[in-house]
Structure 1
Amino acid sequence: MVQWGCIADDVTGATDLATNLVGQGLRTVVLFGPVDPAGASAVDAVDGVDAVVIALKSRTAPVEQAVEQSLAAARLLERAGSERFYVKYCSTFDSTPHGNIGPVIDALMNHLGETVTIVVPGFPDAGRTVYLGHLFVGKELLDESPMRHHPLTPMLDSSVPRLLTPQTSARVEQITLPTVRSGPQAIADALASLRSADGRTSVVIDTVTTDDLGLIMAGSRTLRLVTGGSGLAQGLPARENPRARDITVRPGPRAVLCGSASQRTRDQVAHGREHLPWHKLDLNLLRTGFERAVADIVDWATGLWAAEASATPLVYSVDSLADVAHDATDQGAESSAALVERAMGAIARGFVDAGVTQLIVAGGESSGKVLADLGVTHLRVGPAISPGVTWGAAVTRDDVLLNVALKSGNFGPVDMFTTAWSKLDGITREERTDSEK
């Protein structure tokens, strides 16, 4: 019986959530969708876990596709025996006036027969807080933060209720901080009073500290469906489970691939360039000779490892926002984002063929493409690197054991590309667990 069945809107969001579930002592595995609605073979192959997170690629997909994939994931989790369900979206509420957060929540509430759920994007440990319904990124309101300039989902309002209302057919209500701080029973009473007699209700809840998350989860313990950022999982009761983070570590060559254009990733790239050998993708070369350009990068990295086994090549796509200001405009031309995503997948295949066993991938789209191209179907979650970022163990379609860290663009310390490797030190288990095989 799986205690929590979770649906995440991208790959790095799924690993963010899994990191926090493991941190609370829940043995967790991430499955990579979209799922096959005809069977639950992927879930059946994973045994002995407390939580399953299905990673979709639905954050910026067409609304109908995002809803369809989310419902298929829910049905799969139901067949696996999930007791409760968790819809995970970005802690900066990345979306448009049309979705996809609201439509997915509506569809899951309708499917599960639920009339009320909570909306909790707050993740205080990662600097995401909500006060009086307004979402902050650090000390800045969401619409005054770098998320205002996001190339796919520019966030131009900080009010979560105002962002959600155009996306949903449900009534949108709020529970503010004084009620949260009054404790779980006050939250439960407020949720009960906000239930709509003639429809669904989504309740946005203030979150300023990690302790608030515990109060919220305790106050919503009777709800079968909860929604939020990955931080909400930190509100689950912690349990002692020293083996929850057990994974197999395979020493060997390592590399960093960055397809994200976020401010935090650009800062991490700048730091990495000072300490690591680096190569910036040349989009013109990729457009005119994709295979040759990829082969040259793989050859460059292979030479580094031959000269120094501990070398960590950094391959990235963006230095500044100027790199994403212009895109392919010819009809039928491949967009720069799609080209970068395709290149990262091909480079990852070349690196693994060359012997890489430890890999950091930055960016949700890049992470999804890398895993798909390597034929990875699931990931066992291991030691945390920072809030929302973790190491994991995966097996490729060629039965290669690989340690991977999949980083959301906005997460991770500035020096992550040079310091994250130390988190694997001291883990010496050599036998694969059942969920890694």
Structure 2
Amino acid sequence: MQLGVIADDFTGATDIASFLVNNGMSTIQLTSIPKQPINIDCNIQAVVISLKSRSCAVNIAVKESVEALRWLKEQGCSQFYFKYCSTFDSTDKGNIGPVIDALLDELGESFTVISPSLPINGRTVYQGYLFVMDKLLSDSGMKNHPINPMKESSLIKLIERQASGKCGLIPYCEIEKGEIAIREQLTRLKQENYRYVVLDTLTDEHLVSQGKAVKDLKLVTGGSGLAIGIAKNFAKNDVNSKQAQILGKPQGHNKTVLLSGSCSLMTNKQVEFYKSIAPTYTLNIEKCINQPEDYCQVVIDWINNHQKQKYAPLVSATTDIEQLNVIQQTWGVEKSSQAVEYFFKQLVIALEKQGYDKYIVAGGETSGVVVQALNVHGFYIGPTIAPGVPWVRSINKSISLALKSGNFGDESFFVTAQGDF
């Protein structure tokens, strides 16, 4: 084992696992910190542990992240990677900053990098400011995120509000010079007692240079993009990763269902597109709250009645920001979100009993609920559907899943994901 990754949600974990595999590292994803010894193939170079720590209480996020780090240290990992969202989803109190501080302290280190960029999906950093496509983070759809609305675009300001040290910057003009220049800047900033350093990033080539430059850092932090460079430090050949992709390829998918819980702008577009060509059921939040078991059977019957059509049925809790505000004002943020999560949990448990073995899921929180409901212990990483979204197959049962972060994929993602394998 060479690289240990701690991801703060399920879709983020599959996201980075996909990038590691595609760049030559054989990788396995675990859905929790193992409580018992597990057998991991000796050819596996990286392990990604999925946590649900992005939006929980800070103390819980820190505790679980440190526990994951300790387990990865026991497996002999030489470098550790804290993976968070490419839109830096967080509040002024955390959870990204406190987790980074806790991981640094646990490793006895005092210095790391901040690199959330994912250029292929339009996430870039310039002069320390995070952009989503051509908009500053604070002007993008993330400004209305239902859990972590992002009102600030400066990564330096964001991390210094959350964490305990000062943050520096390696600007584009230095990043463009390549590995040696980046390494020199890292050395200088560390000597000047900076604890964190934001890395400007506009291209995948910048990520490759960054990966080489941070090879000797015990802890690196970022989105999945930095994995492009990190993987190349460890990859000897692509035989192991290709074998791992074969293991992750969907098999025996007799019954398929789509579940969407994300309310992101892109997921809204994807759901609207799918509605025009395939059976789509929009959940009634009041029924999810007041009669979840009875309502669950109604939805199951609907799914079964639409299983034989060209495209699999979609059950959606996705809605636009205006309707979401109405729901949250009527029922409360926590009550409505918990009701939807509970409903999806009961639905998935029932569907598995009926032989459903292929799940396409939109939204990090929804993906976590689905994986836990299915009692999946870990995944083999399969072929990529869209950048950062691979097919994965359970290591302990015959189930395949596509777990999509809210803003990933194009409008036709749900159709593309159902291609032949």
Residue in 2 aligned with 1:19? 18
Contact 1:40-1:80 within 8 A present in 2 as well:
no
**Residue 270 (str. 1) matches residue 265 (str. 2):** no
Residue in 2 aligned with 1:204? 198
Over residues 335-355 of structure 1, what are the superposed CA-to-partner deviations in whole Å (9 max), with x where a residue is unaligned?
111111111122222222222
CA RMSD in angstroms, aligned pairs only: 1.9
Contact 2:311-2:415 within 8 A present in 1 as well:
no
Residue in 1 aligned with 2:409? 412
Taking structure 1 as reference, are residues 80 and 315 closer, same or farther at Cα in structure 2, changes over 3 Å only? same
* 1: CA distance, partners of 2:188 / 2:313: 56
* 2: CA distance, partners of 1:217 / 1:333: 39
What SS does structure 1 have at the residue aligned with 2:99?
Answer: helix
Over residues 307-340 of structure 1, what are the superposed CA-to-partner deviations in whole Å (9 max), with x where a residue is unaligned?
x265400000123112320356799996111111
**Residue 375 (str. 1) matches residue 375 (str. 2):** yes
What SS does structure 1 have at the residue aligned with 2:243?
Answer: coil
* 2: CA distance, partners of 1:132 / 1:200: 17
Aligned-residue offset at 1:243:
2.0
Residue in 1 aligned with 2:356? 356
Contact 1:275-1:418 within 8 A present in 2 as well:
no
**Residue 233 (str. 1) matches residue 227 (str. 2):** yes
* 1: CA distance, partners of 2:333 / 2:72: 38
**Residue 165 (str. 1) matches residue 168 (str. 2):** no
Residue in 2 aligned with 1:402? 399
Residue in 2 aligned with 1:41? 37
What SS does structure 2 have at the residue aligned with 1:356?
Answer: coil
Contact 2:120-2:387 within 8 A present in 1 as well:
yes
Taking structure 1 as reference, are residues 419 and 176 closer, same or farther at Cα in structure 2, changes over 3 Å only? same
User: Match of 2:280, as an amino acid?
Assistant: W
Aligned-residue offset at 1:129:
0.3
Q: So what's the TM-score if we normalise by structure 2?
A: 0.94
Aligned-residue offset at 1:299:
1.1
**Residue 4 (str. 1) matches residue 3 (str. 2):** yes
User: Match of 2:270, as an amino acid?
Assistant: Q
Structure 2 alignment gaps of length 5 or more? none
Residue in 1 aligned with 2:93? 98
What SS does structure 2 have at the residue aligned with 1:392?
Answer: strand
Contact 1:12-1:408 within 8 A present in 2 as well:
yes
**Residue 31 (str. 1) matches residue 39 (str. 2):** no
Residue in 2 aligned with 1:65? 60
Aligned-residue offset at 1:202:
0.6
Aligned residue pairs, count: 413
Over residues 179-213 of structure 1, what are the superposed CA-to-partner deviations in whole Å (9 max), with x where a residue is unaligned?
1111111111111111156x661100000001000
Contact 2:25-2:238 within 8 A present in 1 as well:
no
Residue in 1 aligned with 2:217? 223
Residue in 2 aligned with 1:255? 257
Structure 1 alignment gaps of length 5 or more? 426-437
Over residues 243-277 of structure 1, what are the superposed CA-to-partner deviations in whole Å (9 max), with x where a residue is unaligned?
24112522312111001111111011001101110
Identity of aligned residues (%): 38
Taking structure 1 as reference, are residues 45 and 217 closer, same or farther at Cα in structure 2, changes over 3 Å only? closer
Aligned-residue offset at 1:419:
1.3
User: Match of 2:211, as an amino acid?
Assistant: M
Query: Structure 2 matches for 1:295-306, cutoff 5 A?
Result: 295-305=297-307
Q: So what's the TM-score if we normalise by structure 1?
A: 0.90
Over residues 379-409 of structure 1, what are the superposed CA-to-partner deviations in whole Å (9 max), with x where a residue is unaligned?
111000111101010156xx4x011000011
* 1: CA distance, partners of 2:321 / 2:130: 24
